[in-house]
């Protein structure tokens, strides 16, 4: 980060707002504040503030290493408290950020004298189409469940009405295990319905896709990158869609970050950003099987 002249920043971990994403559970404190699941929202507000400041000659790229919190997550690859490296590159799209991310990973691997293999790049839709015979936007829960049945795999009834959850499980069960075990894979061009906080774009097959990617080492997810959405009206709509889905799933409503919406309204520069899990990166670097092996105090000992 220093060599690339990326500015280190520090933002609060406690907020009056929370993520609206129905699949990301926030930790709520007794005074109705939330521990952040990512430093994303305040970092984007900093980008907008820099862009608006009259005395800033050059819009800086920024990064942060921060503890983050997600309720109820504990297991082989999960701990309720973990560490993220998050950075934003002004003027980049998700494709340029993929290269940026791989350059960082290659630097780390070579620093620790680990053998480096060029990353494999996969497209989400192509992986789905090759197995299900249809693109993700044409898939149904019934098609996915039939594929599970044919493979003699159990399919949970709890996601029988949630296509995105069914697609996630399909990827976990049938696609990720086929990634090369000792090198990096980037999975890009997610379905429009899984855009999260990324822009929408057109892929080489003229299909509408989310301009986002995830980076894996073997089948272990390490990071999630976006060509960042800067449209405040579209962002508000996505927050509201999340809240409606939360209600449908019986999940508690979360206070959307209106300060982020105000910052987007003021103007955030074109940029791409990624959050990379440092504990999982340590697992990959050291060949560990469990996140507990790289934490001094996991949740059971905290």
Give tens-digit pLDDT for 14-32. Answer: 999 999 998 899 999 988 8
85-110: average pLDDT: 97
Q: Give residue 150's pLDDT.
A: 96
Q: What is the pLDDT of residues 50-84, one digit of tens each?
A: 887 766 677 899 999 999 999 987 999 999 999 99
Sequence-distant (6+) residues with CB within 8 A of 93 are: 211, 227, 272
CATH top-level class for 7-119+227-294? Answer: alpha beta
Q: Give residue 32's pLDDT.
A: 87
State whether residue 81 is helix, strand or coil.
strand
Q: Give residue 161's pLDDT.
A: 82
Q: Give residue 56's pLDDT.
A: 63
Sequence-distant (6+) residues with CB within 8 A of 137 are: 191, 192, 193, 207, 208
Q: Which two tokens stand for residue 290?
A: 């469990």
Domain boundaries, the chain: 7-119+227-294, 129-182
């Amino acid at each position: 980060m220093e060599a690339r002249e990326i500015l280190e920043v520090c933002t609060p971990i406690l907020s009056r707002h929370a993520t609206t994403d129905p699949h990301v559970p926030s930790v709520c404190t007794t005074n109705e504040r939330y521990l952040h699941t990512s430093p994303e929202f305040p970092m984007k507000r900093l980008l907008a503030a820099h862009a608006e400041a009259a005395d800033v000659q050059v819009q800086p790229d920024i990064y942060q290493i921060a503890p983050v919190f997600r309720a109820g997550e504990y297991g082989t690859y999960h701990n309720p408290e973990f560490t993220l490296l998050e950075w934003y590159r002004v003027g980049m799209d998700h494709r340029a950020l993929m290269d940026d991310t791989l350059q960082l990973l290659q630097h780390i691997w070579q620093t620790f004298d680990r053998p480096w293999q060029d990353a494999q790049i996969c497209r989400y839709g192509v992986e789905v189409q090759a197995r299900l015979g249809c693109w993700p936007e044409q898939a149904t829960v019934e098609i996915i469940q039939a594929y599970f049945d044919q493979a003699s795999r159990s399919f949970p009834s709890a996601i029988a009405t949630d296509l995105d959850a069914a697609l996630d499980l399909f990827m976990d069960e049938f696609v990720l295990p086929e990634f090369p075990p000792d090198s990096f894979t980037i999975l890009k061009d997610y379905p429009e319905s899984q855009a999260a906080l990324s822009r929408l774009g057109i892929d080489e097959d003229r299909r509408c896709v989310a301009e986002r990617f995830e980076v894996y080492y073997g089948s272990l997810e390490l990071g999630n990158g976006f060509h960042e959405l800067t449209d405040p009206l579209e962002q508000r709509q996505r927050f509201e869609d999340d809240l409606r889905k939360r209600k449908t799933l019986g999940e508690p409503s979360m206070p959307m970050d209106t300060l982020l919406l105000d910052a987007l309204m003021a103007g955030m520069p074109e940029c791409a950003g990624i959050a990379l899990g440092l504990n999982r990166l340590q697992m990959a670097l050291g060949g560990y099987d469990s996140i507990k092996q790289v934490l001094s105090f996991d949740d059971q000992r905290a």
